[in-house]
Amino acid sequence: MKKVLFIGLGHMGSALVKGILKNPNNGIEVFGYDVIKEVQEKALKNIKGLNFLNDISDIETKDIDFIVIGTRPIDVEPLCKKIDELNINGKTIICMANAVTIDTVQNCFKQNENVSVIRMMPNMNACIQKSVTALATKNASDEKMNFVRKMFELCGIVENVSEDKFGTLTAISGCSPSYIISFYKAMTDYAIANGFEKEQAFRIIEEAIIGSVINASKSEVTLRTMVDQICVPNGSTIEGQKVLDNKGFENIIKEALTEACKKAVS
């Protein structure tokens, strides 16, 4: 059984741990550690099956195989240098901190030069096993990559992505739940303001959004053609679509993604 440690048990770290531990036959012993003890205690209380470390030095005594770093980007290098003081030769570091490159992590390990480094980017939907998780590496073996892939497939789908695409990937996957939920909020707010009960509004709009995306992904025509086909002349849809087009809705979304991408590579 492989031993995996998650350092950083905030929203994203906890979401991944929850996704992995929802499958009781995952063959993984999961540990958690957070420098903020209140955060660690909350995670241990709320996540069944999660073990914990009292101190970073326990990585050695517990013989941890994979270390997943989910801290703030500014904390990654000091943390890695501290871990490098231990004997972790042959172990694997998985970093999901935004804008922290593989080389940045690798260069922190002077005493343990043969650690493998994998960069990853999940999203918050891991807690319901609907994450999109991207992986990239320069030196991890196929065996290690396969293990990591299978582990995170317990949280959703996994894509291998070259590191130079991680900025765009972060925008369209890591950040996009916020933008999608904002869209969902606007629609449900409108429905509730016009007399619908919250639960019914959520149910209707959820199905409309999910169904539309699935329908669009299977379409044999371009997405804009599909929009034009839905917008029957003199109908209701076209009147709303005119507002979106006139306000530059698509450009607003692209601008949001561009700004998110810039931050992800800086």
Residue numbering of the annotated binding site for NADP(+) = 7-12
Question: 146 exposed, middle or buried (CB, 10 Å; 0-12, 13-18, 19+)?
Answer: exposed
Binding-site entries: 7-12
Distance, CA of 211 to CA of 214 (rounded, Å): 5
Residue 94, helix vs strand vs coil: strand
Q: What angle do CA 146, 149, 152 make, to 5 degrees?
A: 150
Within 10 Å of residue 160's Cβ, how many Cβ atoms? 10
Q: What angle do CA 7, 37, 42 make, to 5 degrees?
A: 85
Distances (CA, A) of 217 to 132, 172, 228: 16, 16, 16
Name 209's Cβ contacts closer than 8 Å, sequence gap at least 6: 183, 184, 187
Q: Are 166 and 100 in contact (CB under 8 A)?
A: no
Q: What angle do CA 103, 104, 105 make, to 5 degrees?
A: 90
| Residue 4 host element (H or E) | strand 2-7
- Number of residues written out for the chain: 266
Helix axes 11-21, 37-46, angle to 10 degrees: 30
